[in-house]
Structure formats: structure tokens, C-alpha cells
Amino acid sequence: MAEYKAPLTDMNFLLYQVFNADKMWQQLPQLNEQVDQETAIAILQECAKIAEQKIDPIARQGDEIGVSFSLDSDGRGKVKTAPGYKEAFDTFVEGGWPALGGDVNYGGMGMPKVVSAFMEEMLCSTDISFALYPILTAGAALSLAKHGSEELKQRYLTKLYSGEWSASMCLTEAHAGSDLGIIQTKAVPQADGSYAITGSKIFITGGEHDLTDNIVHLVLAKLPDAPAGPRGISLFLVPKFNVDENENLAERNNVSCGSIEHKMGIHASATCVMNFDGAQGFLIGELNKGLACMFTMMNFERIGVGIQGMSAGERSYQNALEYAKDRRQGKALDASTKAIKQPDSIMVHGDVRRMLLNMKAFNEGSRALSCYIAKQLDYATFGSGELQQKGDQLSALMTPLAKAFFTDLGFESTVAGQQILGGHGYIREWGQEQLVRDARIAQIYEGTNGIQAMDLLMRKVVASKGALMNVFIEEVTDYIESQQENPAMSEFTAPLSAALADLDDISKLLLTKSVEDINEIGAAANDYLHVFGYTAMAFVWAKMAQVSLSQQDSDAKSSQTEYGAEFYQSKLHTARYYFNRLLPRRLSLLATIKSGSESLFAIEDELF
């Protein structure tokens, strides 16, 4: 496998030339006090070093050895991480990375999401298994910071930011996956104000391991008299070890790991069955409002999972590109190299170039779109007035898109990379098959991509009567109009305008058809999400092309550009490829949506 190289130039291009993050930080008082361009550049440079030098070297061993399960002297399950993981995690903690996006009032660094998202990408590109430990902790800390009592935040949040403790989220039960309303874990009130938590949870990432001294579990449970369904769910903090009045570790809580899962991929990530046997827990937020509290974390994680998919795609591209340039097989179809006896590199073959450019366009487009969504989250978190409202609306609309679209494209890119390596991509020696296995779970956990599609179409578009989608459509329309006096941009804005009009039309059509037949939503949801995804990616590709064109103009006048002429030339070539070869995918999706739901639901179950 090729050694990972963090795409810092592309990240800085997006932050400071495409999305003007430094100007946004100056505009928002809370961020202006915490971050500037120089600080953010230094942070990402240091993160790249950790990813490339400390995490990347242990990923292969982590996949081959994985985590191991055994019983301690008290009969409780314990998990040992793969060799090198504890040392790498300690180095990560020493650098202060768990605090990067944390609340400054409890020891966090208060960095914006546009910075922490790029940290997540670098970690996931080197090893998704390793990245899951700190990413889950950051998500739990976010939920605790927003909904927890002051006492809980003082006692637990500071330790999560310091990296001394880690966290998990415990939602799924054997009979209750996506339908959390039917969970059976119970919470019984105690005289001291705590709750006795009893039940079993499955598929718990980082539920048990040897990386930290304590693990803080966020657990969904119901009181005995709670309302039925999702309205009766509450959220509790359940530590592995209880904490005394001096904030030191005390007795072991009645929570234990029953076993670990043996998975297709992410072998070095501990996926646990967690048993709660009257464990002491503490309420987060209000009773029966736990799902709303947990969604603070889940939405954070869903964007993070989208970044996982993109990260796997980036690593696949780096592997495949290095291989394609070195591998010599066959000759070009034209006569330019016929006289040379040696075979050409496989870069001359059209199908290889197609797969490489697909990966390049999807990776860079996904990175840009994730940066755009992260910017909306920063407005929603740190902004006020209209900026905050718009940030809330766009981040809500685009969270399911980020999770599903990025992971679908990321998996496609890992398979494409495997195809380019041919037989070498199928065997373990080259490491490419690990990316395929690791990336596959991202389409499943944190809400399957089908559920994300239903969330987008049913909850965000139909439930708002199109209002949320209109916010996006208006933003892109304004951008297109701003480029009307720039004729060089017409090759990008014309197809973007057509795609946007089609997205608007299909949204209105589905709003109308769903009134008569609600099955239209289920039949169209997945295709609709991808139509939205290709259109949204065209928007950010147009913005990248605009900057690249302007930099080429500057180069013609001054012979200097920020990142070098070749960088911008590559951007423009890739933008043209996206608009010519990838954006048209939406047309077949639109045709499928318009065909309706009848052929999908007409067949009886017995006839399958």
C-alpha cells in the first residue's frame, strides 16, 4: 500500500480560497478569539504528521491482528487493542487532539468544525479503526456539553477532552436497530437522584478497550412508566468506573463487555456487546427527551461517517495512482508509443483513466462539499440571527446527504482502486482489499443509507413542504447569478443551472405525488438523495473552478499563484471531467424516480 500523504494543499485551498473560512472566523466573535489562518494551518500540519508517521504504520498490523477478548479475574470481559494502538493513542492524547473541537470552558480548544473535519479525514484515511475511538468520544462530548448538567460537565467533560477517558454511545439492541422506540433497556430512579440501568446493547464501538482508564457510556433507556415509542426514551451517562467527590476513579460500575463482534472490516476497532446490570447512571437532559439529546451526537457522527467514506476513497486513489504509474501492461491504442518495445504504464488505458478520474473527482468534490457543510455547522453553532438560522437549515438538510452520498461514493472508489490493482487488489499483500472491507460498514452504521435517504426526503423535504430544499436552491441560484458576467464560467454554470432546475422540479413533483401515494417517497428516496448529491457536488465544483480560473488569470499577469499553476490546471481538468462525465448520472436517476412506485409495490411478497 502506498504511504499516505495528507492532502494539505487541497484542504488549505478549500478553507482560504473557496470558502473563505478565515473571513468567517473574523465575522463570528467566538471563533475570532480561538482561531486564525496561521493557527489552523499549523494545526493541520501537525495532524498530518501524526496521521502519516504514527497511525499509518500501525494500520496494517491492526487489521491483521485486530482486538482480542478475554475475561478478567472477576469474570468481566476485557478487550486488548492491537499492537501499537496504545502507544499511538497516547501520542495523540499528548498532542491535545481530543480537545480540538471541545468547549473552551471545560478544557477544549474550541476549533471550528471546518478544521476538525479535516483532522477526522486524515485520521480515517490512515486507519478508520483507530479514528473511531477519538471520533466517538468527541461526539459523546458534544452531546454532554450541549445537554448535560453543570456537575456532569465538570466531572466528565474535562476528562474526555484531556483524553484520559473515552466514550461510547449505546443505542442498538438485538431486537431494536433503526427502530429505537422499541428498546427494552430500563432505567429505575434511585433515592440519590441517579438511575439503575439494566439491559444489553450490541454493536457498541469502543465499548471496552485498554486505551483509557475509564469509558463513559451514553445509554438510551426507558423508565418503567415512560410513554411508548420514541417519546419515552431518556439518555443516561453510565461510567465504567464511578467517580468520587474528588473526581478520582472509585469502584467498578455494574457494566461489562459480554463479547466482541468478529467483523468483515475495521478489525482493530472494538465492537462490543455491553451488559448493564443495575449500573449507576445519570440523566442527561430531560426525562423522555433522550432521543433529541442523542441526535446531537448522532448527527455529528453521521457527518463523521460520511468523512470516513471519503477518506477511504482518498486512500484508495493514492494507492491506485501510484500503482497505475508503475505498472506496465499492454500498449496505448494510438501509435505514439508503438515503436517502443516495453509495455506502457496502465495510465494509457482509457478504463484505468476513467476509474482514476472518477475517484479524483469524487474525493475532491466530497472534500469540498464536506467543508461547505462544516461551514454551515459553524454558522449554526457560533453564528446569530439569519446566519445561524440558515446554517441550521442547511446543515439539517445536508447531514443525511453527507452520510449516505459520501459513503456510497467512497465505497465505489475503494472498489475502483481494487480494480485498477487487478489481482494484486484482491490479495492481502497490497492492502487494497482492507480499504474495501473497512469502507463497507460506513454505508450501514449510524443509520443505513436507505434510512438517510428517507430522512432527507420524508423529514427534511416533504415535512418542511420543500422549505429546507428551497434554502439550498436559493443559495445556488444566487451563486449562478453572481457569475453571469463571467463568460469563462458558463461551461460550469450552465449545466449546474440545468441540474438545479431538475432538482427543484423533481422535489415539487414528489411533494405532489406523495399526497396521493405515500409509497412514492419510499420508492424515490435513494435515487432522490443521489440526484441531490450530484447537484450539490456540481455546486462546489463550480466554486472550485471559479477560483482556479481566477488564479490562472493572476498567473498570466504575475507568473505567481498561491499553490502553483499545475494545481489549478488539475482542478479545472477535474471540474470539466465531473461536469461532462459524472453529473449526467443524475439523468437516469431522474427517469427512475419519474417511473413511480407502482412496479415496486405491485408484486406480492410471495412472488419474490
Task: Enumerate the H helices of 422-518 as residue ranges.
Answer: 432-440, 449-454, 467-482, 490-516
In a domain, 558, yes or no: yes
Cell 478489525, residue? 267
Q: Which of 395, 428, 452 is the last residue of a domain?
A: 452
Same domain, 378 and 437: yes
In a domain, 445, yes or no: yes
* pLDDT for the residue numbered 203: 97
Catalytic residue among 173, 208, 412, 446: 446
Are the C-beta atoms of residues 240 and 234 closer than 8 Å to each other?
Answer: no
User: How far is the CA of 264 from the CAs of 236, 268, 271, 404, in angstroms?
Assistant: 31, 11, 12, 20
Same domain, 483 and 541: yes
Q: How do beta strands 77-80 and 68-71 pair?
A: antiparallel
In a domain, 538, yes or no: yes
Same domain, 387 and 511: no
Look up the domain containing 337 and give its range: 297-452
Same domain, 306 and 445: yes
Same domain, 409 and 535: no
Same domain, 551 and 591: yes
Report the distance separating Cα 35 and Cα 494, nearest Å: 37
SS3 279: strand
Q: How do beta strands 165-170 and 249-252 pair?
A: unpaired
Same domain, 335 and 436: yes
Are the C-beta atoms of residues 105 and 115 closer than 8 Å to each other?
Answer: no
Are the C-beta atoms of residues 437 and 265 closer than 8 Å to each other?
Answer: yes
In a domain, 276, yes or no: no
Same domain, 416 and 317: yes
> With 0-12 CB in 10 A as exposed, 13-18 as middle and 19+ as buried, what is 397?
buried
Same domain, 307 and 432: yes
Same domain, 351 and 498: no
Q: Which of 397, 420, 452 is the last residue of a domain?
A: 452
Q: How many helices (DSSP H) and strands (DSSP E) are in the chain? A: 21, 11
In a domain, 289, yes or no: no
Residue 446 is a catalytic residue? yes
Overall number of domains in the chain: 2
In a domain, 485, yes or no: yes
Report the distance separating Cα 374 and Cα 380, nearest Å: 10
How does DSSP classify residue 103? -
In a domain, 391, yes or no: yes
Cell matching residue 432: 487494497
* pLDDT for the residue numbered 568: 96
Same domain, 343 and 368: yes
pTM above 0.85, yes or no: yes
Q: Which of 452, 472, 507 is the last residue of a domain?
A: 452
Are the C-beta atoms of residues 235 and 42 closer than 8 Å to each other?
Answer: no
* pLDDT for the residue numbered 14: 98
For CA atoms 394, 400, 405, 411, the dihedral sign is positive
Q: Which residues of the chain have pLDDT under 50?
A: 559
